[in-house]
Amino acid sequence: MKLGYKIAARFLKSNLGQTILIILGIAIGVSVQIFIGSLIQGLQKSLVEKTIGDASQITITSSTDDKEIVDYEEMIKQIQTIDQRIDKISVAADHPAFLEYGENSQSILVRGFDIESADEIYNFVDRIEEGTYPYNLNEIILGIDLKEEYGIQLNDVLSLITTNQKTVKVKVVGFFDLKVASLNKNWAITTLETAGNIFNTRGSITSIEMQVKESGIFSTDIIASKITQELNNDALTIVNWKEQNEQLLSGLEGQSISSYMIQVFVLISVILGIASVLAITVMQKSKQIGILKAMGIRNSATSYVFLFEGLILGFFGAILGILFGLGLSVAFTKFALNTDGTPVIPLFISYPFIFTSGLIAIAVSVLAALIPAYRSLKLNPIDIIRNH
């Protein structure tokens, strides 16, 4: 094998221009594979993050007439032991009401949260554009769309009218921006204590909301099923984000399939390119191979020559391709920008994916070298020397 490696290195050096072209061909294939793969993965990660990054990924609600969940603290303790991928848990008390401000009124959803646990999911504190989070009784925060539409100001006192015709005065202490117009216009956020006080539901909630670790994002349906089996309560309804975003999942699946197809065709082109060039090399070096065989070198040694050629070409092509691919990815995030200067698709670098792409390129190069290696086995040294 050592002799095969030395001969392979000499063959490659003897035609350096051809060797460089093959390496560049492999490098371009690897760079396209890494760029397309990173682009699609970055796009998918960005879409998922924007869709459910600051939202509940698994939600438990009550199917009873009053929609209330009691003894929820014990239930949360039980949920925390079901699956290690469950990361954050919060509770909410949601109630419809009418908001009145001067002569203006509209229906609104009052959402009572525990500030600390809810902020881990919704990131409320960082989403407040003006003012502060409601910490005291009968304080609320509203979306910036409501502020702009009705001219509501900080510390204004509004009226909330419940479905039971109860009217409560509340103070606006802040305005949030959740980046979703419907939420900014229809949510009024407050504390669990205030929600319980306004709607007379102290000690109960309407939903338990959860987020999972990144490793469990696409397994929320499985985790939700485990929670359903463990709780075994027909009065509860458990939904996950995959059920609610079927179109998004379909789009992500389509992106993945197209990405795989592109990468497969790139690999096929690399295989054909290397195989054809090395096959020609067999003919070009047939005289040298014939002489080596006549000197007593075994057929296996001559086949190793081309396998080592494929390995060397694949290795240097993979290294160069990884550098090209990372360069393309970084350049794309510098030139494809939104109006606010942020990248259209954020840079996503998956080291396992890049390492795997490099290994595949090397394996493909060795695989492509099997064809010329097999052809070299059939060369008869007597016939070659006679013809030359």
* Per-residue confidence (pLDDT) for residue 223, from 0 to 100: 92
145 and 78 both lie in a single domain: yes
Does residue 85 sit within a domain?
yes
Does residue 240 sit within a domain?
no
Phi/psi of residue 95, nearest 5 degrees: -145, 135
pLDDT at 23 over 90: no
Parent domain of 10? 2-50+248-387
pLDDT band at 297 (very low <50, low <70, confident <90, very high): low
358 and 326 both lie in a single domain: yes
131 and 221 both lie in a single domain: yes
End-of-domain residue from the set 233, 256, 273: 233
Average pLDDT over residues 71-81: 88
Average pLDDT over residues 27-52: 81
* Per-residue confidence (pLDDT) for residue 114, from 0 to 100: 86
Instruction: Encode pLDDT of 49-74 as tens digits.
Output: 777 777 888 999 988 888 888 888 88
Does residue 57 sit within a domain?
no
227 and 358 both lie in a single domain: no
79 and 22 both lie in a single domain: no
Does residue 239 sit within a domain?
no
Instruction: Encode pLDDT of 95-137 as tens digits.
Output: 999 998 878 888 999 999 988 888 888 888 888 899 988 988 8
pLDDT at 356 over 90: no
* Per-residue confidence (pLDDT) for residue 385, from 0 to 100: 54
End-of-domain residue from the set 204, 233, 262: 233
136 and 197 both lie in a single domain: yes
79 and 40 both lie in a single domain: no
271 and 357 both lie in a single domain: yes
Domains identified in the chain, total number: 2
HEC per residue, the chain: CHHHHHHHHHHHHHCHHHHHHHHHHHHHHHHHHHHHHHHHHHHHHHHHHHHHCCCCCEEEEECCCCCCEECHHHHHHHHCCCCCCEEEEEEEEEEEEEEEECCEEEEEEEEEECHHHHHHHHCHHHHEEEECCCCCCCEEEEEHHHHHHHCCCCCCEEEEEECCCCEEEEEEEEEECCCCHHHHHHEEEEEHHHHHHHHCCCCEECEEEEEECHHHHHHHHHHHHHHHHHHCCCCEEEEEHHHHCHHHHHHHHHHHHHHHHHHHHHHHHHHHHHHHHHHHHHHHCHHHHHHHHHCCCCHHHHHHHHHHHHHHHHHHHHHHHHHHHHHHHHHHHHHCECCCCCECCCCCCCHHHHHHHHHHHHHHHHHHHHHHHHHHHCCCHHHHHHHC
pLDDT band at 388 (very low <50, low <70, confident <90, very high): low
108 and 21 both lie in a single domain: no
Average pLDDT over residues 35-62: 81
Whether the model pTM is above 0.75: no
Does residue 277 sit within a domain?
yes
> Range with the lowest mean pLDDT among 158-167, 223-232, 292-301, 344-353?
292-301
Distance in angstroms (rounded) separating the CA atoms of residues 327 and 315: 19
219 and 270 both lie in a single domain: no
73 and 208 both lie in a single domain: yes
123 and 27 both lie in a single domain: no
Q: What percent of the chain has pLDDT over 90?
A: 16
Instruction: Encode pLDDT of 220-250 as tens digits.
Output: 889 999 999 988 888 889 998 888 777 777 7
Does residue 242 sit within a domain?
no
